[in-house]
Amino acid sequence: MTVSRQQALEIATVLTEALPYIQRFKGKTFVVKYGGNAMTDETLKYSFARDIVLMKLVGMNPIVVHGGGPQIGSLLEQLGIASHFVDGMRVTDSATMDVVEMVLGGLVNKDIVNLINQNGGKALGMTGKDANMIQAKKLMVERPSKALSTPEIIDIGHVGEVTNIDRQVLDVAAESNLIPVIAPIGTDAEGHTYNINADLVASAIASAVQAEKLVLLTNVPGLQDADGSLLPTLNANAVHTMIGEGIISGGMLPKIQCALDAVQAGVNSAHIIDGRVAHAVLLEVLTDEGVGTKISAHE
């Protein structure tokens, strides 16, 4: 492909802007939670894979954690298994857990691995059950009850929360020039399998490996103020204030809490970025402007 002089100049300008970031982040670990439109749109899928491969080629260590809610829902519907949700979490009985494990650990995980490999990377697909990486326990949901003075405790089945991350296999992958692609499935001490929210897993892994950045892809531009304007940078105190004022609410709250947990555990920064933008990960990591909201502990 022939490029014009102007196009060549634009490419050189972009590379020049990226150089300080490449130098700063060489050898650093980035945990990227992959989901939303970026995971279903074909163009965005390929741009994401190329972003991850390029990060690895310039010396960064990306770790991909993925969800797969729509794909799980689609297969459950095909199999005639009804889906039920409590506070946004899928009630997961044994039959549903079998489908979750098949979709997340098989179909979705291997599709991402294949995309990264097709674009020149060396991806290693795994679930949290491999090498006992994600240790978990059953998640019990508390819901206020009008009839009871204490909250009602709801058992939603094979849904878990992270209790510990064994980082050994992640360290081996980094040393072996491999890109881990992780399905958010964990086990407890008795060997029970749990479906875990991918944002929670990404945050826990970022904290365990003391990542430079946690990057959460979403279907929104980032965090916005009361007037709807994008907030490019925030510290933890500002985020807590926005939660208290009701500016951050609803479905964004759990994602923001994951970001806060990570930075308060020592991750340098967490980023809520717009996965609907092509090459969103690179734009956030390697440019001055970025494409989302950066959250840090103190800045």
**Averaged over 254-270, what is the pLDDT?**
93
At 278 the three-state DSSP class reads coil
Task: Write the DSSP string, 117-167.
Answer: HHTT--EEEEETTGGG-EEEEEEEEEE--SS-SSPEEEEEEEEEEEEEE--
Whether 147 shows a pLDDT value over 50: the answer reads: no
Q: How many CA atoms lie within 13 A of 246 on its CB side?
A: 0
> Residue 112: which of 58, 61, 40, 164 has the closest Cα?
40
**Averaged over 105-134, what is the pLDDT?**
96
- Per-residue model confidence (pLDDT) at position 189: 93
Average pLDDT, the chain: 88
Q: Which domain holds residue 262?
A: 210-299
- Per-residue model confidence (pLDDT) at position 76: 87
Of residues 158 and 162, more confidence is placed in 162
Does a structural domain hold residue 16? no
Task: Tell me whether residue 113 is exposed, middle or buried, using C-beta atoms within 10 angstroms of its C-beta: 0 to 12, 13 to 18, 19 or more.
Answer: buried
pTM: 0.91
Structural domain tally of the chain? 1
24-55 pLDDT, tens digit each: 999 999 999 998 778 888 999 999 999 999 99
Of residues 246 and 53, more confidence is placed in 53
User: Which residue in the block uniquely carries the two structure tokens 């964990």?
Assistant: 186
- Per-residue model confidence (pLDDT) at position 148: 45
The CATH number linked to 279 is 3.40.1160.10
> Residue 196: which of 253, 152, 242, 135 has the closest Cα?
135
pLDDT above 90: percentage of residues in the chain: 52
Does a structural domain hold residue 243? yes
Does a structural domain hold residue 110? no
